Amino acid sequence: MPTSFNDPAGKCSVARQVHDVTELLAAFNLSVLHDARLEAVYHMELQLGLQALDELLDGKATE
């Protein structure tokens, strides 16, 4: 992961990626996803995104 002087841990880049994935997932309409496997993947990806965001915020997202 690339880092910069202003963001030595690369957290802004991770936050941007999490935001992009979250927006992409939000664009799906679950009522259109009739395949249960696709819906399960959607929920797993959303959970992983939320976990990454929580780690990014040092656990403050779930308080």
Average pLDDT over residues 30-51: 79
pLDDT at 3 (0 to 100): 47
The answer to whether 56 touches 19, Cβ cutoff 8 Å, is: no
| Residue 44: both structure tokens together | 């797993």
Check pLDDT > 70 for residue 43: yes
Those residues whose C-beta lies under 8 Å from the C-beta of residue 62, and which sit 6 or more positions away, are 54
Cut 0.85: pTM above it? no
**Most confident of the following: 6-15, 33-42, 52-61:** 52-61
In angstroms, how far is the first alpha carbon of the chain from the final one?
28
User: Residue 10 is which amino acid?
Assistant: G
User: How far from chain centre, in Å, is Cα 21?
Assistant: 5
